[in-house]
């Protein structure tokens, strides 16, 4: 009998729901961790997530749900974190230091662990002794909502070990998911963080009345900003025009499904950060990432006018109209 791989998905949001959908359509044993026992009971009874992408219906004998993260991780060979970065540290606080070191750990998180100012790969390496050779990243361009609709989408799977990248890519590939492999675990993860900040900038510009012409200039400049930062943080040969970088930036900055763009649009319309967060009832990773990148960049001193503008608006309470006018001059 062929071995059935065992995967764990940690998180209950849109991306976690979409990943569970993909995995349960393959010969994979899927353990799914959700924090709220009531949501687990609901999914068991009604076969869909009550809070995120409820159009996805789960019917699979190999899907196991539990709110005890130790149970979910216990027999999993591949663990995918698809939880907001701000919640990762609390979710893992009961896990022993070497509990994860022999498993493949994959980040589908597009954010930085707050207080630590670490991308997920660096965090699990430092605190859970996971070797970098066992750490992977799932990058886009891909929206969970389009996965639910089974629209053709592409995922980039990054591992330093290309055999491991191919193994995970094969687990996720299906008739509506095409996979690409990469060895750039640091660049793809940092790029996924930065594109959320730039999507907020795109939303702010839209909210205060800038049009598509300026947005094209903004995103072009954002791509160069990503390239400068990645080359300083992890200088390797990479094609910034590849879909994991430029493609993910574009879809996040332009798409109706982008929560970071939506958040930015609300800020541009005059919402406070708190009121925008409350109305969205979803986490815009770029908000937290903006502060983390500001702190990290104190070490590297990369020229990042767009990231700085977003930080100034969100954390220094500078008027979006004033800050974006100043940014437009810098991009001229």
Q: Are 23 and 172 in contact (CB under 8 A)?
A: yes
Asked whether residue 166 falls in the same domain as residue 196, the answer is no
pLDDT at position 1 is 39
pLDDT at position 29 is 93
Residues 6 or more apart whose CB falls under 8 angstroms from that of 102 comprise 134
What gap in Å lies between CA 85 and CA 87, rounded to an integer? 5
pLDDT band at 3 (very low <50, low <70, confident <90, very high): confident
pLDDT at position 257 is 87
pLDDT at position 278 is 87
Asked whether residue 250 falls in the same domain as residue 157, the answer is no
pLDDT at position 2 is 61
Number of H helices, E strands in the chain: 15, 10
What gap in Å lies between CA 29 and CA 31, rounded to an integer? 7
Q: Domain holding 14: CATH number?
A: 3.40.50.720
Count: domains in the chain: 2
Domain boundary among 168, 183, 198: 183
- Of 93 and 200, the one with more pLDDT: 200
| pTM recorded for the entire structure | 0.94
Q: What is the residue-wise DSSP string for 277-318?
A: HHHH-S--HHHHHHHHHHHHHHHH----HHHHHHHHHHHS--
**What mean pLDDT do residues 175-192 have?**
97
Domain span at 106: 6-183
Three-state secondary structure call for residue 39: helix
Q: Domain holding 309: CATH number?
A: 1.10.1040.10
- Average model confidence (pLDDT) across the chain: 94
Record the tokens describing residue 258, joined without a space: 């982008």
Provide, rounded to the nearest whole percent, the portion of the chain with pLDDT above 90: 87
- Whether 65 shows a pLDDT value over 80: the answer reads yes
Q: What residues pair up with 31 in beta bridges, in sequence order?
A: 8, 64
> Which of 160, 101, 93 lies closest to 131 in space, CA to CA?
101
How many Å separate Cα 214 from the centre of its chain?
Answer: 26
- Whether 179 shows a pLDDT value over 80: the answer reads yes
In angstroms, the Cα distances linking 154 to 178, 223, 332 are: 5, 19, 33
């Amino acid at each position: 009998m062929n071995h059935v791989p065992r995967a764990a998905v940690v998180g209950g949001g849109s991306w976690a729901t979409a990943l569970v959908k993909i995995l349960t359509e393959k010969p994979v044993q899927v353990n799914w961790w959700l924090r709220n026992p009531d949501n687990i009971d609901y999914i068991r009874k009604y076969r869909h997530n009550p809070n995120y992408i409820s159009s996805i219906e789960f019917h699979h004998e190999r899907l196991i749900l539990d709110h005890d993260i130790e149970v979910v991780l216990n027999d999993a060979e591949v663990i995918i974190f698809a939880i907001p970065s701000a919640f990762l540290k609390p979710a893992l606080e009961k896990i022993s230091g070497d509990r994860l070191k022999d498993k493949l750990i994959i980040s589908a998180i597009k954010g930085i662990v707050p207080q630590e100012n670490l991308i997920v790969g660096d965090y699990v390496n430092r605190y859970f002794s996971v070797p970098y050779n066992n750490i992977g990243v799932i990058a886009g361009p891909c929206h969970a909502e389009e996965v639910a609709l089974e629209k053709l989408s592409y995922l980039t799977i990054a591992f330093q070990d290309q055999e491991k990248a191919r193994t995970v890519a094969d687990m996720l590939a299906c008739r509506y998911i095409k996979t690409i492999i990469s060895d750039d675990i640091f660049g793809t993860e940092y790029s996924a963080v930065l594109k959320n900040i730039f999507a907020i900038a795109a939303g702010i510009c839209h909210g205060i009345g800038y049009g598509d012409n300026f947005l094209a200039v903004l995103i072009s400049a954002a791509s160069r900003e990503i390239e400068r930062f990645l080359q300083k943080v992890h200088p390797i040969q990479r094609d910034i025009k590849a879909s994991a970088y430029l493609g993910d930036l574009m879809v996040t900055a332009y798409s109706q499904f982008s929560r970071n763009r939506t958040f930015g649009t609300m800020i541009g319309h005059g919402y406070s950060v708190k009121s925008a967060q409350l109305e969205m009832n979803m986490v815009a990773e770029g908000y937290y990432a903006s502060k983390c990148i500001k702190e990290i960049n104190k070490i590297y001193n990369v020229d990042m006018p767009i990231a700085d503008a977003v930080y100034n608006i969100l954390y220094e309470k500078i008027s979006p109209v004033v800050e974006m006018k100043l940014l437009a001059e810098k991009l001229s």
